[in-house]
Amino acid sequence: MSGIRTRFAPSPTGFLHIGGLRTALFSWLFARNRGGEFVLRIEDTDRSRLVEGALDDIIESLRWVKIDWDEGPDIGGVHEPYLQSERKSIYREHADNLLQSGHAYRCFCTPERLRSLREKNKGQGYDRHCRTLSAEEIRRHEENGDPCVVRLKIPLSGETAFIDEIRGEISTKNELIDDFVLLKSDGFPTYHLANVIDDHLMRISHVIRGDEWISSTPKHVLLYSAFGWEPPVFAHVPVILREGGGKLSKRHGATMVREFRERGYLPDALVNFMALLGWSLDDRTEFFSTEELIRSFDLKRVNRSSCVFSYEKLDWFNGVYIREKTPEELYELLLPYLAAQGFVPPEEPDRYRDYILEIIPLIQERLKHLGEIRNQIFYFFDDLYEVPKMELLVPKKLVSSDAARILEETISAVRTIERFEDSEIEQALRLLVETLQYKTGQVFMTIRIAVTGITVSPGLFETMRVLGKERVLGRLKNSLDRLKSPDTGKSR
């Protein structure tokens, strides 16, 4: 087989999972690194489990992270169709070929018999009851219209081995492998049959998938052998676990790509993070552009052991990527979230553009993902700012009269500032600290809480400058009123 061709073959039984994204990413990176081709194929033969909108989600999620494909259901290609549900006749033809060559047989066992067999044998495999049916028995079943499946004849002895590109040789005794179903009674293929036929006909050279498929690979190798085909190279990448061990699930955070997109993770950051789940270039390099990942990726550097998905590490990665954006770039990325959260009118989204561009440099360092923008900027907007409660306005080791004195003197100091710039504001407030003879932290925290309503915010001087002199004075006065009349203080 010449030419590198990989594929990603998800099932639209749900939205694209983060584990599926990692599989697609590794397959895509390998193909692009070797100058090969990447195919998107949709395995939709399990009709009972299809989820509406899942196919669109898979395509949109891959496009969002800039994974492209050379052939697929949306763009076609020389091996179309790329929806398995449209390839039923191909699978039927190949199943018939296996029946004629004696590598497969029809099984007429009823669901009731199979269920009873599982219960009796405590979950052990099929007993091959129909493997030795006579031609007369098969004809009688067919004349009765009895439904049947097609099963592969597994060798009754020996072993089946294959070389995994990541894990080396893996061997399984044939006696441990069932005569598994190839074609179901409704005419649809099982995953095993469709997967092998499509990979062969689409000339896939390397099958890169999660290690949960290792146990199925001997079945696929035997199926390739039954057809007389050369199998592709197999590479099973390590499973992704949650922190503390165990399967990654929604109980621990987002698991679907669309959730990360909705929460405001940047696609480049997510791709960089996902590439390092099971692969590394060396012991020190963490940040890669997509082009650098393509140049560096090699299956030989994929780990065998499972890897851990850390939401905290992803937040850190995303924060780094956010800080690399210019204020203008970040504004465009934030705009949908600002509109959705009511900060900008959808019909006039750029009304507050200049004002928000002043805010962005102050909060950019603190932003972990775009969706949390509300908590970072709400106090810059008068309709969301609230005058803090009295107990919050009084610093530790001080009493309300001390806080009131600080605010009174701050109001006087702010009034004297002619150029309301960072340096002028800092000079005035540091002089105020010397005059009041309180600790710097006590004075600045009282002012910060009065001006923003919260204890943690960007630099105090920069925040005051963006708010402007009149708004700062208004907030200081309202906070002072709250201290003097805690039950009647203004709300904003």
Same domain, 167 and 133: yes
State the SS3 of 12-31. CCCCCEHHHHHHHHHHHHHH
End-to-end alpha carbon distance in the chain: 72
Cα Rg, the chain, nearest whole Å: 32
Is residue 59 located within the same domain as residue 186? no
Is the residue at 277 inside a domain? yes
The reply to whether 106 and 213 lie within a common domain is: yes
Domain contains 375: yes
- Beta-bridge partners for 308: 241
Nearest CA to 152 out of 78, 202, 227 is that of: 227
Last residue of a domain, one of 237, 263, 289: 237
Q: What is the residue range of 453's domain?
A: 390-484
Domain boundary among 311, 345, 368: 311
Q: What is the pTM of this model?
A: 0.91
Closest to 231 (Cα-Cα) out of 200, 257, 262: 200
| Residue 62 shares a structural domain with residue 153 | no
Q: 398 and 418 share a domain?
A: yes
Q: Are 78 and 203 in a shared domain? A: no
User: Are 69 and 112 part of one and the same domain?
Assistant: no
Omega cis (within 30) before 81: yes
**Domain of 345: which CATH number?**
1.10.8
Q: How far apart are CA 90 and CA 185, in angstroms?
A: 16
Residue with tokens 């498929």: 213
> Which of the listed residues 237, 269, 299 is the one where a domain comes to its end?
237
Give the pLDDT of the chain (492 residues) as one tens digit per residue. Answer: 459 999 999 999 999 999 999 999 999 999 999 999 999 999 998 888 999 999 999 999 999 999 999 999 999 999 999 999 999 999 999 999 999 999 999 999 999 999 888 888 776 789 999 999 999 999 999 999 999 999 999 999 999 999 999 999 999 999 999 999 999 999 999 999 999 999 999 999 999 999 999 999 999 999 999 999 999 999 999 999 988 888 877 666 679 999 999 999 999 999 999 999 999 999 899 999 999 999 999 999 999 999 999 999 999 999 999 999 999 999 999 999 999 999 998 888 899 999 999 999 999 999 999 999 999 999 999 999 999 998 899 988 899 999 999 999 999 999 999 999 999 999 999 999 999 989 999 999 999 999 999 999 999 999 999 999 999 999 999 999 999 886 644 443
Which residues are identified as catalytic? Answer: 250
Length of the chain: 492
Q: Which long-range contacts (CB under 8 A, 24 or more apart) does 408-415 make?
A: 408/480, 409/435, 409/436, 410/443, 410/446, 410/447, 410/450, 410/476, 411/473, 411/476, 411/477, 411/480, 414/464, 414/469, 414/472, 414/473, 414/476, 415/473
What CATH number has the domain bearing residue 208? 3.40.50.620
Return d(Cα 176, Cα 162) in angstroms, integer.
Answer: 16
Same domain as 261, residue 181: no
Instruction: Please report whether residue 319 resides in a domain.
Output: no
CA distance 292 to 289: 5
**Which positions ≥6 away from 324 have C-beta within 8 Å?**
none
Q: Does 148 share its domain with 198? A: yes
